[in-house]
Structure 1
Amino acid sequence: MERVWADTHVTDDSLVQCISEIRKALGSEASALLRTVPKQGYCLDASHASARRLPLFSTVRIAALVLVSAALALSALLLAPRLQTASEVQSIAVLPFENLSGNAEQAYYSNGLAEELIVNLSRIADLRVVSRAASFSVAESASDPRQVARELRVSYLVDGSVRREGQTLRITAALIDGANGENIWADSYSGAEADVFALQETVLTELVRVMSVRLSRQERERLGVRGTRDVDAFDNYLRGRELAGFLTASHNEQAEEAFAEAIRRDPDYAAAHAQLSIVLSMRVEYGWTNDMTNTLARAVWHAERAVSLSPDLPFAHFALGRLLSRSFISDLAEASAEFEKAIELDPNYTDAYAFYAIVQVSDGRAEDALNTISEAFARNPVPPYWYFMSVGAANFHLGNYEAAEAALTELLQRNPNLQNALRLLIATYGHMGRLDDAEWLTMEYEALGGPAAITEIMQLVNIEHPPYREAVIDGLRLAGLPE
């Protein structure tokens, strides 16, 4: 403090905030390069840095490999045995489709078509389909299809491109053998933009045929592109989905406009209703509205409308379950039912598993939560950071504090500003008797604006099961936090 801010009036919180920002900037390298030394400070450990400067492409690839390895190791350490082995089903990943339209702003359309293919393939029980987040992430860091297949642990890859010019559309697709990187099948399809739904169905049918996938009667009935047949509604839906992923207030409003336009064009577009429900829910979660009551009412209406319009659409049940699981509504029984239905309809829906696990913890079912989240890790080899929250929470409430610490630390290394993880890790350190670590973590929590009093913290903890709430309170007390 004296060296850096000798002539400036700042507090210790300033240092904590700066360290938090440095960790965020370092990203996946933060855990190796920046260590907390309890009661002393922070250490930048350059011995973990590369001896030579690597090209950006290589650095990203290495970071992705480290991330995959860490995720797999953690899943083996922290999770219960998987309910289904990967060898029992064929496995496939759809890579982002290349945008050949000559306009970078059209990327949402090509990526959207790839994601729609993922959604449709996921309805097949005899396929393990990797999530969009995982396949797109690994594809950005590796160019060799064999490497991509190894990292995603799949047998097949689907690659393709989209050229959209004026009212014409050309889609190419290829099925790649992950073992040798060779094309098993490839074809191209051209037509008017209004033919997009027929082109999607042709690609889907051909992929299923080439892989000789067995389909049940229900799967044969569900297989195919559904939702809307209005080209403009579909375009607005894809655009809204892209905008919603940016997670800012302005993008949230733009996403709402896009989904609302899709619904105006096709009032029975269930997926657009479901997406709009999530956009409105997130507006409340992130504090982007001054009218929480009306925003929530609209979110509930659109989620229920989606389910009523398309009862066999997994995403509709996910959207309603997600909304009902939020602390401002918290109907855990109904949320559980919706997530179970989403998983029944789409066994590959890893986000549904992950959200359901969080609900199970909140409802006092930590062992069930570990089984559920193990399915998400088994089906998604590159899990998002937030999957580790349910792993940490479940192990915490089972008294497995070392496993809880490992999961929560992984989570915070990938998102240092996640306050609910900080709160639970402070309680974990309390139970472990690691008071120095708890003290430092409390400082970081306060620097992010979190209240460091037990009563205030418990108002933010979305745990309904009384014994589980008491375990958190006891951990915070043991960590030395005031009432």
Structure 2
Amino acid sequence: MTASLHFPHRQLILAMSCEVKARLLGARIKEIRILRYLFEGYAFDTGRRELHRGTDVVSVAPQVFDLLDYLIRNRDRVVSKDDLINAVWNGRSVSDAALTTRLNVARSAIGDSGEEQRLIKTLPRRGFRFVGAVHEGERTSGAVLAPDGHVESSNPAPALPDKPSIAVLPFENMSGDPEQEYFADGMVDEITTALSRFKWLFVIARNSSFTFKNKSVDIKEVGRRLGVRYVLEGSVRKAAGKVRITGQLIDAITGAHIWADRFERDLTDVFALQDEVTVAVVSAIEPKLLQIEIAVAMRRRPENLTAYDFYLRALPQIYLATREGEAEAIRLTHRALELDPRFGLVAALAGNCHMRNVLWGYSTDPQFDRKEAVRLSRLALSLDDGDPSTLAWAAVVSAFMVGDCESATETADRAATLNPNSFDVWHGRGHVYRYSGLSEEAVRSFERAIRMSPVDPRLHMTFAGMGYAFIELGRFDEAIAAGKKALRLKPSFSTAYRCLASAFAHLGREAEARAAAAHVLELDPAFTISAYIARGGPPNGKPVTEGLRKAGLPE
């Protein structure tokens, strides 16, 4: 591709702001009409992008909302698979399994199922159709577009959600090249979509953010109008065959700058460039937001804590990877479940805490912790089987505590499909694939996790897992490098010393192997190779256990 950026007509239209479309149509918009579809006790609001069942808001991912929107709007006909892919996935390659998964999630959101097909019907070899009885209405958005393009609102400022909230504003085109405008808008679309896959984040839809396009804005006012705590803004400039993209994350309450960075790339494949920068931006700001939210939760008075606060407080305890940390994390996650028994993500996290108690030899009752790990993971999936982190954590428990490798890899793959930008997803997938004896793919997953969150507080676990995978592949020098990286991040991590003891022993470096083995016994005095296998050692982990024997660890 040449240095000149080119976008197909379809994407150009999608990228246009409400104001530009109005001018093309010769319209002077005074109010925006928003459709509401009513069916079987549900209200589907295209303006607020909300699905209501009675007075309750039903949580749906943006992609699922778009799928329902397209099916309902086109309910007078059968829509083909290609129609859906073009409308919802912008024509990208989508497997039949992925499409079926999203359809099933959409059905579940509106009380339907694949077996019943009461509202969304699949017609074999033809396509899909929304067959429910729909009543259509309108409501005004409350937004008025004046002749000068200024957006005014008669509605009061919305309250902040009970979880971190962010809006991605249109990036400013600094180059004067109209084609850059479409590239910048496409970039914002990609970043918004990537962030929306993190279900612990509340992400404002593109259409709302783009009402601020080509306007001089005050970030605090944007935050107030959209009801968000954080705002991401940026700019794009093209020069000499390169494109420079800047981004900054701002606290809309205080106006403080939280993060800023600049990305410069060659102008080659536009879509590859969008993907590359999206990954870089999301991998920088998602963990940053989580760190800030944890810090805020830790400052709150204990008597005022919510289930979400307890969840946030549990995370740094897990990062410690200590007996005391796991015990406190279990206490906090169970407290969160008492306050909100339908908090699927925290149930999955609690299950992982019980699992680590078993794997790391911390448990006083391994049988109880093993059963709790499985129970809580299954509970989490029954509450929310569409959350990528929940799926990833449940997959690890399924592998290590149940030994169901087929189900675990399938669940881990589904998590990666739902959110390919998540550290949790790739970290969990790495452990699942290593347990399943697919060490090459495990290494690739661990490398992807590191790319997603290069300063993550759990990287010692990632490097240790990667070290074990390298041992199983016979790549002992690389295993030693990974084990040492884990120890630099967490000097008291027994798992990393086991990795080093085994790898050193395989290379015949006896003194180093025995020194690492001594550290293992110092940190875990009850350690034996048979106990390690019984705790949840992989059935394909023979190279690791052979190395531990050579290092002199007790049988």
TM-score by length of 2: 0.44
The structure number with the bigger radius of gyration is 2
Kindly indicate which of the two structures has a greater share of residues assigned to helix: 1
**Comparing both chains, which one has the higher relative contact order based on Cα–Cα distances under 8 Å and sequence gaps of 6 or more?**
1
